[in-house]
Amino acid sequence: MDVGGGDSGSVATPVQQKAHEAWRIYQHYLDKTTPHATYRWIGTLVVALAYCLRVYYIQGFYIIAYGLGIYLLNLLIGFLSPLVDPEAAGGSDGPSLPTRGSDEFKPFIRRLPEFKFWYSMTKAFCIAFVMTFFSVFDVPVFWPILLCYWIVLFVLTMRRQISHMIKYKYIPFSFGKQKYGGRSGSGPRAD
């Protein structure tokens, strides 16, 4: 008898087989969306707009919107942050951001890659949308206070993130291919 949960002798039920097959199909189509970033983000904007319209017309579920906003802010910080934080890394041997012009170019590697950022954001909007159909989540709150508090959190967090970017001289976005200036001399260099 296989108590350890190994593959030898384990038989999946038909329900488990169907669930696994459905997951494989879902994963296949999710993988196919990877190169189509523009269409993925347009789809996310449509889902976000549907959620916002639902909250606006219902005039409720503000606590869900606040929780969603905090979660999205957390995702944004992960998206804008480098994989290895220069403050925490100190003198480690891992990859680090160049801090001087003479340092070797190292590409910016995000703590949260774009695809995971998009996927987490889309899932969050879908979950929040579904939660608006259950009245147990409609907690009565004074929404202007939540909005003001979220704006304060956003401003303080972004200020800290931007000062971190300035201090360690990194930009988490790339706009096309980088252009390099030519040499000032006109002939081949003699060493």
Please compute the mean of the pLDDT values over residues 8-12 and round it to a whole number: 65
| 3-class DSSP state of 83 | coil
pLDDT of residue 96: 56
* Structure confidence by residue, pLDDT tens digits, 81-120: 888 877 776 655 555 555 566 566 667 788 889 999 999 9
Binned at pLDDT 50, 70 and 90, residue 173 comes out as confident
pLDDT one-digit tens code per residue, 53-92 = 999 999 999 999 999 999 999 999 999 888 887 777 665 5
How far apart are the C-alpha atoms of 95 and 107, rounded to whole Å?
A: 10
User: Which is more confident, 7 or 60?
Assistant: 60
| pLDDT band per the 50, 70, 90 thresholds, residue 134 | very high
Q: Is residue 144 scored above 70 in pLDDT?
A: yes
Question: What is the pLDDT at residue 12?
Answer: 79
User: With contact defined as beta carbons under 8 Å apart, do 132 and 55 qualify?
Assistant: yes
For residues 84 and 179, give the distance between their C-alpha atoms in angstroms, rounded to a whole number: 26
Contacts of 67 (CB under 8 A, 6+ apart): 128
Q: How far apart are CA 138 and CA 55, in angstroms?
A: 10
- Residue 37 near residue 114, CB atoms below 8 Å: yes
Question: Bigger pLDDT: 159 or 171?
Answer: 159
pLDDT surpassing 60 at residue 45:
yes
Q: How confident is the model at residue 11 (pLDDT cuts 50, 70, 90)?
A: confident
> Which residues have C-beta within 8 Å of that of residue 126, sequence separation ≥ 6?
47
CB-CB contact of 75 with 121 (8 Å): yes
The pLDDT of 20-42, averaged and rounded, is 93
User: Quick check: 62 and 141 in contact, CB under 8 A?
Assistant: yes
pLDDT at 189 over 70: no
